Structure 1
């Protein structure tokens, strides 16, 4: 180490200049030959590749490739499905399916001119109106309660609150695609409406399709979601013959799209491969437009309850619903 009073001798300006020139000239010459060699051997290599594009807003909440709408197969069971109640093979339970598992229409599909009725199951105010909601109404092949209170998680998160949140999220997605979205209730009614009024909402709105959103109250040991399809009912005031086939097609799209968006497995305590056909629901018996129900999960099951109380998962649920409705309206 050199001390403070012991400096190295200075070189003259001429010597310094000579040294610099001697060092620079060979380097420049070598660089020129290298560039010429590169330029003549591979012109493309001499041009720097542009940086990869970064898409603004490419990732939305609740997506896997993010939020790609799903267009499921037309068969009643998806490719690679497991026995009843299982998720499709290779898809981890409770995680979103990998991108491209099912063909998908564009998330930006134009739904201008289309009308969709969303039916948030139950009503937060039903608890305070037992007389009104217990009134019996005609559903064609029998009578049912006007409405019910719905279920809830062990922690008290109600089905009515869940359905309103998810349908509002789905409405935002569908409206952004140009659709007109009509609600049967938006937390703006003290109770109800009754199931027969909910069923009429599709015809009253001149809707193309309707969907009723629910959370199930099954046995605590059971988990998973399922879609309820209408059975053909021609009895009394009910005749849903015209909507059974398109409703079943909608149900397949919804089952596969919801699973792809959320990773939720098919219900292992009810239904078959995530599908259940029923003739006892006024909302399906009396509907004049294609309609299905979705039970998004079992709120009495601790794992399902954790998912359904997570806002991010609810956004995924809304995405699966919106994408399935979009696929239904743009592929037929």
Structure 2
């Protein structure tokens, strides 16, 4: 009877090193001789060699958040009143103090609070967030510099967070402003799509679209420097009307601010496809 002798086959395993380049690694070899002619029974019972697998990490995504106004603006009227470029051949004031509720809750405090919540929600999901201002006690930056901060980044989206101050009776609800007319490619379809996704997200969260401006929660604007100067998909979210009692109640509440933040962050994740 012919005897079959056991054979040890050296198997190469490819693993990924720290730098992501394949590194060859070999299992211990007991017999350096590789013999062919292993009988079918032995071959069928042998386990297949391990196969190296690699996982790809999604590329980093940058989103710029622009909390409207600043807490120190009111104390520096000359500085924020100076004219700066506003795009489309126009100039505009460096910044403004923003509006406030009838009870005195200021827009700059609202935008700062909500923006921080959005930032944290995005960071948990692995998004890199760039803020246009670092606190709520400073002055500015001017509207042109805010746009420049976004343009210098590799932003997939730029969102300015505001609240409106319409004095019209019964005016309430949110709206999302987008560039119109578009002055470059990013201001066209990408910005309109961003505005639409945010509009839909706020609607799903239970917020009503504005009944006094725009159409179905969207408003094309050609007078906002942050939109005119942007080279990235960019929108302004006016979360509600601070002069309306019902809107003001939501804008000033902890629950309301958290709901706005979750809706905005969730919509942004939808926009970037994550």
Name the TM-score, length of structure 1 as normaliser. Answer: 0.63
Secondary structure at the aligned position of 1:124 is classed as coil
> Which residue of structure 1 aligns with residue 177 of structure 2?
228
Q: Is the 8 A contact 1:127 1:149 kept in 2?
A: yes
Deviation, 1:144, is 0.8
Q: Which of these residues, 244, 258, 267, is aligned with residue 315 of structure 1?
A: 258
> Which residue of structure 1 aligns with residue 116 of structure 2?
168
Deviation, 1:188, is 5.8
Q: Which of these residues, 62, 80, 83, is aligned with residue 115 of structure 1?
A: 62
Q: Is the 8 A contact 2:71 2:137 kept in 1?
A: no
Deviation, 1:287, is 0.5
Unaligned 5+ segments in structure 1 are 1-109, 234-238
Deviation, 1:111, is 7.2
Q: Distance in 1 between matches of 2:74 and 2:136?
A: 15
Q: Which of these residues, 130, 133, 139, is aligned with residue 77 of structure 2?
A: 130
Deviations 1:7-66 (A, max 9, x none): xxxxxxxxxxxxxxxxxxxxxxxxxxxxxxxxxxxxxxxxxxxxxxxxxxxxxxxxxxxx
Q: Distance in 1 between matches of 2:77 and 2:187?
A: 32
Q: Distance in 2 between matches of 1:245 and 1:199?
A: 19
Q: What pairs with 1:254-269 in structure 2 (closer than 5 Å)?
A: 254-261=198-205, 263-269=206-212
Deviations 1:280-314 (A, max 9, x none): 11100000110100100000000000000111111
Deviation, 1:230, is 0.5
Q: Which has the higher helix share?
A: 1
Secondary structure at the aligned position of 1:247 is classed as helix
Q: Distance in 1 between matches of 2:128 and 2:74?
A: 30
Deviations 1:214-242 (A, max 9, x none): 00001252110000010135xxxxx4333
| Cα separation, partners in 2 of 1:280 and 1:302, compared to 1, 3 Å | same
Q: Is the 8 A contact 1:112 1:179 kept in 2?
A: no
Q: Which has the higher contact order (CA 8 A, sep 6+)?
A: 1
Q: Distance in 1 between matches of 2:87 and 2:71?
A: 27
Deviation, 1:243, is 2.7
Unaligned 5+ segments in structure 2 are 1-56
Aligned residues: 216
Q: Is the 8 A contact 1:199 1:286 kept in 2?
A: yes
Runs of 4 or more, structure 1, over 2 Å off, are 239-243
State whether structure 2 residue 234 is matched by structure 1 residue 286: no
Root mean square deviation of aligned Cα: 1.5
Name the TM-score, length of structure 2 as normaliser. Answer: 0.76
> Which residue of structure 2 aligns with residue 250 of structure 1?
194
Q: Distance in 2 between matches of 1:140 and 1:257?
A: 29
